[in-house]
Structure 1
């Protein structure tokens, strides 16, 4: 079993009792820039799921000590809402229904295609970020409900509604470069002034520092760090 530290928005829990498969999956997702924790049985997976924050979980169904479906059910009963993909050798409709009814968001039957597994976990990760009220900004956080940024120093900076919407749009997809036009249409509801995005980036930098939003020359903007 491997446990590592890293930001919660890129931390993945894999619960798999097949040591060789578990090690392969851990290496695979580490190459995709996730921080990976690997548990070899359901009880350890439950402990980690209850005590650490994750972007997503990949859980084998046929686990020792605690079955994967029961693991998901117990996490949901304890209020853990992290999206879960269940891996299983059982592919009947009833098996898939039981996994989804327990609270899993997705179900993938073994043997599986590696590309499909990666794509499904990326989709779960995006869904988790889309629904999150707290989003990481380097060593700080954006509270999109309270329209407040918590700086690494512990200081809180209040944003306007438009500033918050712009920063949240960037933070939800931290490695994506947004064009000015897509931000103008998506954040500012198609405002006519082409300079409106640049204006609000200027406001954000004035409040939070020059690196909070990075310019990608010739393309647009992406989220930076506080």
Structure 2
């Protein structure tokens, strides 16, 4: 079998007929396929199981495909990702790749091409994801600690760590408070909780750790 039974694949697609066809095609090639029909289920599977490749539709119920990929990458999920979409403009492709997708395939597509792209992704080794650089410092994902420029290690709470990791995963992006609340503090009623945890991070790491972009949100600073 061309895919090999060691390759586990997550398919997140809300079209039942397409899901059935892709599951059959990829299964015949030897992939072990888990399926999700909405973004929330895909997020749960992506966070709780280990996959070699994820095939994710762009337009999903419950949680959009772009947001799904962004959340998985923010939590250092290393599986290679192929995004499927009916949106084929250059801007749409750029948005998918910027969110963390490794490849982008526009519908309608040829099944042989999809299979070839999945095989290519399986051959690519995930890049190391145990460290995210923050200026002269870094965020160590294993021990969940920040390391300052002088080598000082600073322990972070779970929420502090998750917030800093979301910022560090896309260091040049300005993150609106509402988006950070949704990604890190889903159960919180208001976005003010983001301000509270930015304060905590600055108190531990220095004011430069998180930059305020007035009227827009926050972005990564330096350590």
Q: Smaller-chain TM-score range?
A: 0.5 to 0.7
CA distance, structure 2, for counterparts of residue 18 and residue 24 of structure 1: 10
Q: After TM superposition, list the pairs within 5 Å mapping 1:198-209 onto structure 2.
A: none
CA distance, structure 1, for counterparts of residue 6 and residue 77 of structure 2: 15
Question: In 2, are the aligned partners of 1:50 and 1:75 still within 8 Å (CA)?
Answer: yes
**Aligned match for 1:104, one of 91, 101, 111:** 101
Aligned to 1:3: none
Aligned residue for 2:124, secondary structure, equals helix
Aligned residue for 1:128, secondary structure, equals coil
Gaps of 5+ in 1: 1-6, 133-226
Q: What's the CA shift for 1:128?
A: 3.0
* Residue 30 (structure 1) aligned with residue 27 (structure 2): yes
CA distance, structure 1, for counterparts of residue 95 and residue 36 of structure 2: 22
Count of paired positions? 126
Q: After TM superposition, list the pairs within 5 Å mapping 1:89-128 onto structure 2.
A: 89-128=86-125
Question: CA RMSD for the aligned pairs?
Answer: 1.9
Q: After TM superposition, list the pairs within 5 Å mapping 1:1-226 onto structure 2.
A: 9-128=6-125
Question: In 2, are the aligned partners of 1:82 and 1:128 still within 8 Å (CA)?
Answer: no
CA distance, structure 2, for counterparts of residue 8 and residue 78 of structure 1: 26
CA distance, structure 1, for counterparts of residue 49 and residue 124 of structure 2: 19
Q: What's the CA shift for 1:10?
A: 1.2
CA distance, structure 1, for counterparts of residue 123 and residue 85 of structure 2: 23
When normalised by structure 2's length, the TM-score is 0.54
Aligned residue for 2:97, secondary structure, equals helix
Gaps of 5+ in 2: 129-223
CA distance, structure 2, for counterparts of residue 44 and residue 128 of structure 1: 26
CA distance, structure 2, for counterparts of residue 76 and residue 43 of structure 1: 15
When normalised by structure 1's length, the TM-score is 0.53
Question: In 1, are the aligned partners of 2:5 and 2:31 still within 8 Å (CA)?
Answer: no
CA distance, structure 2, for counterparts of residue 106 and residue 21 of structure 1: 19
Write the deviation string for residues 55-114 of structure 1: whole angstroms up to 9, x where unpaired: 100000010000001100000001101110000000000000000000000000000011
CA distance, structure 1, for counterparts of residue 35 and residue 110 of structure 2: 20
Question: In 1, are the aligned partners of 2:13 and 2:56 still within 8 Å (CA)?
Answer: yes
Greater gyration radius = 1
Question: In 1, are the aligned partners of 2:11 and 2:19 still within 8 Å (CA)?
Answer: yes
Question: In 2, are the aligned partners of 1:61 and 1:88 still within 8 Å (CA)?
Answer: yes
